Structure 1
Amino acid sequence: MAQKFMMAALCLLFSTGALYAQSVDETLDQARQLEKQMKEAEALAKYKEVLKAQPTQLEALIGASELSSREGNRQKEKEDKTRYFNEAKEYAAEALKAAPNDANANYAMAVAMGRLALISGAKEKVAASRDVKKYAELAIKFNPNYGQAYHVLGKWNYEVANLSFLEKNAAKALFGGLPDGSMDQAIANYEKCRKLDPGFILNYYELARAYNKNDQQTLAMDVLRKAVTLRPVTQDDPGIKAECKKMLEELQ
């Protein structure tokens, strides 16, 4: 009798575990489908559901980080942006604890730190920018064909090349300066991203900005003409395409 009871208990335990795993897998799949449908707030909520059940689930941590960075970027108030970006950073940190050599986890941290840098004061911006470069380069180390990591490096070079006098002084005081960043290197990074990930619309917008800043308007217009023909993939892409069209009209 005791043996039968033990066997029944074990069967119940294993079946419960299987249902639990199935539920997590189903929720992950729902998150992926919502991302494909460009319903990113809903996808983020699904990734968070997974993390309530499995706090170290790597795909959910990375997804939650990347989508928190995007959601934060859409907010109007700095306080709301900061909250989302800090959440993105926390999710990425947990992902890196679980898988420090994972290219996607390192990329997620680079993006989160980059978003924080863009809304921070001089000292905080300089400090964050060092991490942007570090994690983007690690993402490329672990996946040399990671186009969007090259995009982050391009953005880093663009921003460092355009640091204000105050920000350069902060970099010198805090760290003895920053590694050199140049517009030419930004363009090279963006072009590398375009080669590896030709459908990444944000990269076209940033590449066109860099060409324009570098007094290469003809190349900027060529990039923008291509951008407006691309199919939207993320929730932000239609708006980015509209910005590309606007920039093209201004340059023509």
Structure 2
Amino acid sequence: MDAEKFLNVRVHPKVRYIKLLQWRSLVRIGLLNVVTRIHEHTHLTQQISSLHATILDVKRDLAQLESELEKKKQSSNNSDEYASARSSAFRKKTVSFSSTATSVSYQTAREFMSTDSDVASIKSDNDNASIKSDTDNISIRSSNDTDYFSPDEDDDEFFDLSPANSEGQINGKDESTTEDWGSLSQEDDELTLTEELGAIPSLLCRVDQLLDGTQEQQQNAYNTLKHMESENKQNPQFLWRFAKATRNMAAIASKQGNTVEQKTLIFKAYEHIEKALPLDGNSADIHKWYAILAGARGEYLGVKERVKTGTVFKHHIDLALQLQPQDATLHHLLGRFCYEVSHLSWIERRAAAALFGEVPASSYEEALEHFMAAENYKSTAWKENRLYVAKCYIQLANYKETYTWLQKASVAPIVTPDDEIVQKEIEENLQKYATIPEL
């Protein structure tokens, strides 16, 4: 009898029901956790698979483009008397960089600024525009205060791969047109210096002023350099200026909405700077523009190539900064690199690391240091650099400073076509952050 009561208590229906509910709850929680993990894993796997499929598609497209480009180059070489006179080895000479070829140590803006006393002699050489002239090459070092605008972050520019306009015209202006230099207000001592050097160096000195001028002046600079191209194909100081002028024309094409011309000009600019690099590896300007144009060209390559391009960009900016540590544009470009790296999401970073190797680390604070260094070294107001200072403060959630720097960027003068593009983004952000409650 006692045994029966004991058994009845142990198997009481209410106890059994409660135990069953508890087990069901535990099983449900466990299943929910498993389903959630499976869903997250599946989503990440799908993203990586999609990225891999995109890479394969881009590789196929790139192979076709390279094949077409090779055919066009062969056709162009057959009709080019100068090219036919060169050796086959020289025509095929290229410069390549490994994705791991960053032997230069990475320094912050603060470290670069702390080395000012160590590089005083380099800065003196650059500021005094020292000139080396011989029969084959004329080297003119411009002031490191010259404004070299970097490509816009929205520049999905430039890619036809077709040869440059054989007539050498930009917006109806013939390359043989004599330029009006009256608009250039040069000092008498500068004119005396350039007159002693002959026609070509004198033109290059004046072109430096035009390259950072208005749209019309940039077009004049391009047409002038285009006219000088055939006689200066082995002059590295001419080639980097020609590359910069061609990139300026791409920015003008971007403003006009001519995407085909944009792509063509960016690739032509990259070809010019690629020829200049092996001719003079000690020029900060050449390393600077190689980095700029490699980055601009990388916008139209596949994901893997863009990652490699980022490494090449960083390598050449570091080299240029060793030669010109107080160059405002170089600090701006390095700030752009740090900003973009910091902008990568966790998934993007993990996917890139899994497919292409480790992605460099940086921070918005480090990017801000370089943008502020560029602001300090620049003698005039730089609209685009101030915009990126504001962008860093956005990421750091300091909206008061964001609005302050957007206002500073807005009042900076609009001089170049790049400034016109940047001004639109500044105005959009001013409207957005003028209503932030923290302000």
Q: TM-score range by the shorter chain?
A: 0.7 to 0.9
Identify if the C-alpha distance between structure 1 residues 127 and 78 changes in structure 2 by more than 3 Å, giving closer, same or farther. Answer: farther
Q: Could you say which residue in structure 1 is the equivalent of 2:153? A: none
Match of 2:363 among 162, 182, 187: 182
Compute the displacement of 1:196 (Å). 1.0
Aligned pairs for 1:224-239 (under 5 A) are: 224-239=406-421
Q: Do structure 1's residue 34 and structure 2's residue 216 form an aligned pair? A: no
- Specify which of 56, 66, 73 is matched with residue 244 of structure 2: 66
Instruction: State the shift of 1:178 in Å.
Output: 2.2
Tell whether the 8 Å contact from 2:338 to 2:362 is kept in structure 1 after alignment. yes
The 2-side partners of 1:171 and 1:84 are apart by 32
Q: What is residue 206 of structure 1 aligned with on the other side?
A: 388
Equivalent positions of 1:100-179 (< 5 A) are 100-163=281-344, 165-166=347-348, 168-174=350-356, 176-179=357-360
Distance change >3 Å, CA 159–CA 77, structure 1 → 2: farther
How many angstroms apart in 1 are the aligned matches of 2:372 and 2:314? 17
For the residues of structure 1 that align with 2:300 and 2:309, how far apart are their CA atoms? 11
Partner Cα separation in structure 2 for residue 168 and residue 133 of structure 1: 20
> Which of residues 192, 214, 226 in structure 2 aligns to 1:48?
226
Q: 1:225-247: CA deviations, max 9, x gaps?
A: 11222233423223323432332
Pick aligned residue for 2:405 from 223, 243, 246: 223
User: Which stretch shifts more, 47-56 or 26-35?
Assistant: 26-35
Kindly state the Cα deviation for residue 114 of structure 1 after the two structures are TM-superposed: 1.7
- Which residue of 272, 275, 283 maps to 1:94? 275
Q: Which has the higher helix share?
A: 1
For the structure 1 residues 123 and 81, does the alpha-carbon distance in structure 2 shift closer, same or farther, using more than 3 Å as the test? farther
> Structure 1 vs Structure 2: percent identity of aligned residues?
21
* TM-score between both structures, scaled by the size of structure 1: 0.80
Q: Which amino acid counterpart does residue 84 of structure 1 have in structure 2?
A: L
Q: Deviation string for 1:79-101 (max 9, x for gaps)?
A: 54443222222222222222211
- Cα displacement (A) at 1:56: 2.6
Q: 1:148 to 1:32 in 2, by over 3 A?
A: closer
CA distance in 2, matches of 1:168, 1:61: 39
Give the whole-Å Cα distance in 2 for the aligned partners of 1:105 and 1:168. Answer: 34
Q: Distance in 1 between matches of 2:372 and 2:432?
A: 22
Aligned to 2:431: 249
Residue type of the alignment partner of 1:105 = I
The CA distance in 1 between the partners of 2:360 and 2:242, in whole Å, is 30
Post-superposition CA distance 1:155-175 (Å, at most 9, x none) = 11111122353565234433x
Task: Determine if contact 2:387/2:406 at 8 Å carries over to the other structure.
Answer: yes
1:205–1:70 CA distance, 2 compared to 1 (3 A)? farther
How far does residue 142 in structure 1 lie from its aligned partner after superposition? 0.5
Larger-gyration structure (1/2): 2
Specify every segment of 5 or more residues in structure 1 that has no aligned partner in the other structure, as ranges.
1-20
Deviation readout 1:174-203 (Å, 9 max, x if unpaired):
3x2122122221111111111111522211
Provide Cα deviations, 1:108-138, integer angstroms capped at 9, x if missing partner.
0111122123343321211111111111111
Once the two structures are overlaid, the 10-residue window that deviates more, 58-67 or 127-136, is: 58-67
For the structure 1 residues 169 and 82, does the alpha-carbon distance in structure 2 shift closer, same or farther, using more than 3 Å as the test? farther
For 1:160 and 1:200, the matched residues in 2 are separated by 23
Structure 1 residue 32: Cα displacement: 3.7
| AA at the equivalent of 1:135 | H
Moved more, 228-237 or 195-204: 228-237
Separation in 2 of the partners of 1:50 and 1:226?
Answer: 40
Q: Could you state the TM-score of these two structures normalised by the residue count of structure 2?
A: 0.48
Change (3 A) 1:124 1:72: farther
CA distance in 2, matches of 1:224, 1:122: 32
Relative to structure 1, is the Cα distance of residues 113 and 101 closer, same or farther in structure 2, using a 3 angstrom cutoff? same
Tell me if the contact between 1:66 and 1:111 (Cα under 8 Å) persists in the aligned partners.
Answer: no
Greater relative contact order (Cα < 8 A, sep 6+) = 2
Work out the CA distance in 1 between the residues paired with 2:415 and 2:220: 16
Write the letter of the residue equivalent to 1:201.
K
Query: Shift of residue 70 of structure 1?
Result: 3.6
Note the aligned Cα RMSD (angstroms). Answer: 2.5
Amino acid at match of 2:238: A
CA deviation after TM superposition for structure 1 residue 22, in Å: 4.2
Any conservation in 1 of the 2:349–2:359 contact (CA below 8 Å)?
no
